[in-house]
Structure 1
Amino acid sequence: MTVIHGWMLGRARVSPLLMRGRIKVAVRPIRYASSQVGATNTLPGLNEDEEGSSTDSKSGQKSRSRAGPTMFKIFETAATTFASIAVLGLAGYSYHLYYKSLVLRKIAKAFEPGDPMLDLASPPVPQGPAGAQPTDDPDDWIQRPEQAKIDAIIHGEAKGRYYLLVGEKGTGKSSMILEAMRKIDGEGVSMFEAHADLEIFRIRLGKSLNYEFHEDYIGSLFSIRGPRDTTALLDIERAFNKLEKVALAHRNKSQKQSGRKGPLVVIVNCAHLIRDDEDGNDLIELMQQRAEQWAAANLVTMVFNSDDYWVYERLKRYATRMEVIPVVDLSKDRAIAALDRYRTKFFPEQEHDPEILKQVYDLVGGRLNFLNRVAKSSDMIKMCHQIKESEKTWFLNRCGILGEQMDDDVMDQQKYASAAMVLAKALVDRDEGMETNYDDERGHILPEIPLYKARQIMTRADFIQSYDHDNIFTIDSRAMVRADSIPMMHAFKEICSEEGFDDYLEATLDRISAIESINRTKELTFKDLWLEQQGEQRGKYSFTMRDHKGRETGTIEMRVQPDKSPAEDDD
């Protein structure tokens, strides 16, 4: 008998010969190695204890073999996450530091030579009449006496103060500032125009300082933000904080190196455009606080340029280092010299009659704005009359009175207009009572009234600021009220000298008083009051008066008094 041992995969395999009975085969079950697939299956007859112990040992080995790679993967994932966060945080912090330094460099660049205001203010070659010889020579116009002071401020030579330029519109305040900036090409100076809206003020301040208020910060790309979650006033404060750091660096640098030695200069032009309300007063207070601090430390010199007196009133409250520079019209000699020089540039072929130039001054005075318009006109006297008529029309359109027939709906506007007319008449009367209102050297001497007396004349204290803003009257730094210009004073005289003006003004004031009296009068009507009927009094009203504690203080009784008969009247 032949015995065949064979390897079988889980069962005995028998050949056909064996099945025919020719060969006898003894089959023994074979245990498989643990590495083979299906090693957990056993053939019948295997010891169950051996099988259980073998399975436990193998599962323990498997769990121990799998625990190591799992822990390694967890550690690897944690290390990768930590490294990613660390790299991201380091990159964000590095960019934050870079952005802060970039902001300071950009603001410092705003004070380098060159300024946008100078680029905008650079006039093109003037186009005069045929035959004129235009020129861009900066010395064409006459130098004002305040120019030397302005130059010292802009060039950084005047330290430890901040300044307020006050004067009527057209006297040349902005021109002097731009002229001083042009001499140094705007180095160390930044200038911007004020505005009534704080948001626009913020944008203009940022443009002048080359500061974006963190609106270009790339970190905002990683967060969804709605509208800007701050106020314009807070942004202005942040801009001043950055400017202060740049000014400190500039002061330290100027002490070690050559170049501009003085403090930086920030100019707020047209400060009177800021609204005289709560927000506007907060803005002025913020700027004044900075101006006081920076002037004390010689960091930044702030210059406020205003046409209106109310800005001076607001700044005066807390001013300790403020200096006021009044800018008025040119005197007679300077105005005629300026007109003659400027006229020569545009009309070199014409001879200038000194009497004509003197007549021009008598009509428009020494206001640079008016002299500029007259000098470019072919007929100067005609242009002077046009300017006077324009001022008169402006005054009548704003403050024309309507007389006795006015409607009660326009009473508020007529209060404003009649108060202006009363003040204009007071100035005309004072001009007639002056010993002299014209000097051969100084020129025109306009009549003036102290501010408190002007309010007494108008019986109103709130209108004078609007008149100043509308360029009808002006208030100088000495709190003296006068006509805004020589042509406006001529307009006052013409209006007040018209026939029937006094009566017309008086009728308007009476009508206003009558309307106010009607509004203050209350009419009380009683109904259902009867005379005595059948021996009884009917239709009687009784009023009980009580104090604030409810206690009765008296009684008022109202009834009809019967008419007396003629016989009773005789008795």
Structure 2
Amino acid sequence: MLPLLRRAYRTPVVRLNGTPLPQPVLLSVTSRCALPFRRALTGQSGPPTPGNDAPNPVDDATEDAGHDESGDSKEKAKWKNTAWRMFESAATTGASIFILGLVGFSYTRYYKHRVLAKIENAFNPGDPVLELAAKGKEVPPKDLPREKDGSDNNYDRWIPREEQARIDKIVSGHDKGRYHLLIGEKGTGKSSMLIDAMSKIDGEGVAMCEAHADPEIFRIRLGRCLDFEYHEDNIGALFSIRGPREASAILDIERAFNKLEKVALKRRRTVGRPLILIINQAHLIRDDEDGRDLIELIQQRAEQWAASNLATVIINSDKYWVYEKLKQHATRMEVTQVSDLPKDRAMQALRNYRMKYFKEETSQSILEEVYDKIGGRLTFLNRVAKSQDMIRMCDHICHSEKTWFLNNCGILGTEMDDDVMDQQKYASTAMVLAQALYKKAQEMDKTYDPECGHILPEFPLHRARYIMTRADFIRRHHELSIFAIDSHARVRADSVPMQRAFNEICSEPGFDELLEATLERIGDIESLGRTKELTFKDLWDGGKYKITVRDRKGGVQSEVEMETVEGKKDDDDDGND
């Protein structure tokens, strides 16, 4: 009923005798009209008694009780509202944290999966790094037929070596359970053979990393060849999380090897062949604490992966110290010595080089003369083949090697200053060993085989150190490519032009006397450094010294007097000889 009355009195404007009533009057009329209905609902009958407008005590008590109950209900409603808001805020915060954690967990799983997928992609065929390396090393394309019968129809410059078949087997993954060290002088074709083996399988399952002296640069190069970013592209750094990049280079390399191991495990289950990781130019790693730690880390992984057939590590080095370091803890390492080409293969390579660059056939006499001067070193043969006058280029190479040796190990004789004694010690030991190699070459039955070519004189490493009277200088000479040390610890000249330089220098008139004078001068300087000289100035003017030695009780044991006397002339000084 009350709603109907409210609707009835919702007239916008109420007029009385044409005059609109004000709003308070309207509210009063509404309340009075609604009063009978309210009384009917509350049980009151009849119109209100005049003068009985005072409030009813019962009604007042009821209203007070209603006010108390409404206050309690309001207070309870207030607490309920506060509790609900607290619950709503907590639920919102919890949901936000849950969603953020779920997103972070999902991103981490996705990122780790993406990291492994990128490393797997680095071992897929068609690596652009392989193509760049192949062009730089001039590896022949696969579609170019190779010369097999010795005919002149095909002048491919690539000459297969005896070690190529074994390296092909290693790189293709058929040789398992070992890791390998390729050692040899620079320019003998070690890197070219590795890249040629990679090109035959299109780089599938193979990655090559160029070493460097700085571990940070080595870390970057390893990450590039494995397509591993070391988590530097992880968005966790946006939330001020400490990034892995703040760690050392060795620790980052360990992380990269961990990821590579996971990829290798998956590949062993699916493909059945191990991954191939090539560390090229490992001799560039410094022989210091960090460098030795890096070599040890690589060897530990190589031993572990070789035992489980997960991956095969190939280490390519020009220097002997890498072999010395790896030899200490090696159990599954195989060493392959790569030396110069023999005579027949070197001449064939030079002929093919010449045909490629100048489209001309070289006579046999010129080929033999070139080989006699520079030997079978591939880098020398390539330089000679690109020159217009090959004999002149051979002479230039021999002169350059001789100049390099004299610039680093030239001796000064008796006129040298005391300040250069340390450098002359280093230089004289090299000259002594070069003289020993020269004399041994003269004592050998033959130093040139018509079929095999040059036979260089050599000494065992311990014998070479005995000849030099120093054990530490031979490594520095080896690093300067003056002497070569192979995997059998045999010391010889680094190349045929270097041995020719030894022969020319040691055969010069007066060389033996110059070397002996240098060694004598070094001995005199060292003797002066070990000798203490006392000078008594008072004896010069006729003075005298008396030295008395007493025992503990003060007694005199001995006395010594020193004074100057005139020297006596010998009988030979009379001039009557």
In the alignment, which residue of structure 1 is the partner of 2:168?
151
Paired residues of 1:531 and 1:561 also in contact (CA < 8 A): no
Q: Does 1:395 align with 2:412?
A: no
**Which residue number in structure 2 is paired with residue 409 of structure 1?**
419
Q: Deviations over 1:423-477 (max 9, x none)?
A: 1111001000101111111110000100000001111111111111111100011
State yes or no: 1:322 paired with 2:333.
yes
Is residue 90 of structure 2 the alignment partner of residue 90 of structure 1? no
**Which secondary structure state, in structure 2, belongs to the residue aligned with residue 499 of structure 1?**
coil
Shift of 1:344: 1.8
* 1:235 paired to 2:247: no
* Contact 2:343 2:371 survives alignment (8 Å): yes
Greater mean alpha carbon deviation, residues 517-526 or residues 481-490: 517-526
Q: 1:51 to 1:143 in 2, by over 3 A?
A: same
Decide whether the 8 Å contact of 2:429 with 2:468 is kept in 1: yes
Residues of 2 paired with 1:226 and 1:215: CA distance? 7
1:113-159 CA-partner distances (Å, limit 9, x unpaired): 02343222243899xxxxxxxx9877432111111111111111111
Distance in 1 between residues matched to 2:453 and 2:483, nearest whole Å:
19
Return the alpha-carbon distance in structure 2 between the equivalents of residues 543 and 200 of structure 1.
72
Give the SS at the match of 1:123: helix
SS of residue matched to 2:335: strand
Encode CA deviations 1:387-437: one digit per residue, 9 max, x unaligned.
Answer: 000101111111111221111112111111111111111100100010111
Does 1:279 pair with 2:290? yes
Q: Aligned to 1:264, which of 256, 275, 296? A: 275
* Alpha-carbon distance in 1 for matches of 2:235, 2:548: 81
* Cα deviation, residue 82, structure 1: 0.7
Amino acid aligned to 2:300: Q
Query: What residue number does 2:342 align with?
Result: 331
Question: Using a 3 Å threshold, how does the CA distance of structure 1 residues 541 and 292 change in structure 2: closer, same or farther?
Answer: farther
Q: Distance in 1 between matches of 2:480 and 2:191?
A: 19
Q: Among 119, 132, 147, which residue is 1:107 paired with?
A: 119
Percent identical pairs in the alignment equals: 60
Which residue of 195, 198, 221 maps to 2:212? 195
Matched, 1:118 2:156: no
1:557 CA drift (Å):
9.2
Return the alpha-carbon distance in structure 1 between the equivalents of residues 550 and 528 of structure 2: 26
Q: Distance in 2 between matches of 1:555 and 1:405?
A: 51
| Residues 1:54 and 1:237: Cα distance change in structure 2 (over 3 Å) | same
1:206 aligns with 2:223: yes
1:76-475 maps to which residues of 2 (within 5 A)?
A: 76-123=88-135, 139-223=156-240, 228-254=245-271, 261-348=272-359, 350-475=360-485
Look up the match of 2:18.
none
Rate the CA distance shift 1:335–1:184 in 2: closer, same or farther, 3 A.
same
Q: Does residue 72 of structure 1 match 2:84?
A: yes
Encode CA deviations 1:504-555: one digit per residue, 9 max, x unaligned: 111111111122122222345678899999xxx998798999xxxxxx9x99
Q: Distance in 1 between matches of 2:468 and 2:335?
A: 28
CA distance in 1, matches of 2:176, 2:439: 45
Q: Distance in 2 between matches of 1:82 and 1:477?
A: 66
- Secondary structure (helix, strand or coil) at the match of 2:380 reads helix
Q: Is the 8 A contact 1:530 1:560 kept in 2?
A: no
Whichever residue aligns with residue 91 of structure 2, its letter is A
CA distance in structure 2 between the aligned counterparts of 1:447 and 1:377, rounded to whole angstroms: 30
Are the structure 2 counterparts of residues 555 and 539 from structure 1 closer, same or farther at C-alpha, using a change threshold of 3 Å?
A: closer
Question: Mean alpha-carbon deviation: is it higher for 337-346 or for 225-234?
Answer: 225-234
How far apart are the structure 2 equivalents of 1:530 and 1:380? Answer: 73
Whichever residue aligns with residue 499 of structure 1, its letter is: P
Q: Deviations for 1:262-298, whole angstroms, at most 9, x for unmatched residues?
A: 2110000001111111211111111111111111111
Give yes or no for contact 2:237–2:243 (8 Å, CA) kept in 1.
no
Question: Residue 212 and residue 57 in structure 1: after superposition, are their counterparts in 2 closer, same or farther (change >3 A)?
Answer: same
Query: What TM-score does the superposition give when structure 1 sets the normalisation length?
Result: 0.81
Distance 1:267 1:542, change over 3 A: farther
The number of residue pairs the alignment matches comes to 505
Cα distance in 2, alignment partners of residues 430 and 530 from structure 1: 56
Q: 8 Å contact 1:529–1:540 — kept in the other structure?
A: no
- 1:354 and 1:497 map into 2 onto residues whose CA distance is 30
Q: Is the 8 A contact 2:211 2:282 kept in 1?
A: yes
Q: Secondary structure at the match of 2:379?
A: helix
Check 1:327–1:558 CA distance in 2 against 1; reply closer, same or farther (3 A cut): farther
For the residues of structure 1 that align with 2:464 and 2:540, how far apart are their CA atoms? Answer: 57
Deviation digits for residues 360-392 of structure 1 (CA, Å, limit 9, x no counterpart): 000000111111111111111101000000101
Query: Once the two structures are superposed, what CA deviation does each residue of 1:33-83 show, in whole Å capped at 9, x if it has no partner?
Result: x9xxxxxxxxxxxx9x99998876554343222111111111111111111
User: Is the CA contact 2:548–2:556 (under 8 Å) kept in the aligned structure 1?
Assistant: no
Q: CA deviation at 1:561?
A: 3.5
Question: Alpha-carbon deviation of 1:559?
Answer: 7.2
Distance 1:91 1:483, change over 3 A: same
Q: CA deviation at 1:213?
A: 0.7
- Unpaired segments ≥5 residues, structure 1: 1-5, 8-24, 35-46, 127-134, 255-260, 546-551, 566-571
Q: CA deviation at 1:228?
A: 3.7
More helix, by proportion:
2
Task: Give 1:308 shift.
Answer: 0.6
Amino acid across the alignment from 2:249: A
> Which consecutive unaligned segments of at least 5 residues does structure 2 have?
1-23, 26-49, 147-155, 567-577
CA distance in 1, matches of 2:52, 2:547: 141
8 Å Cα contact 2:188/2:339 also seen in 1: yes
Change (3 A) 1:224 1:521: farther
Q: Which residue of 1 aligns with 2:45?
A: none
Change (3 A) 1:58 1:251: same
Write the distance in 2 (CA, Å) between the matches of 1:370 and 1:442: 18
Give distance in 1, aligned partners of 2:66 and 2:540. 128
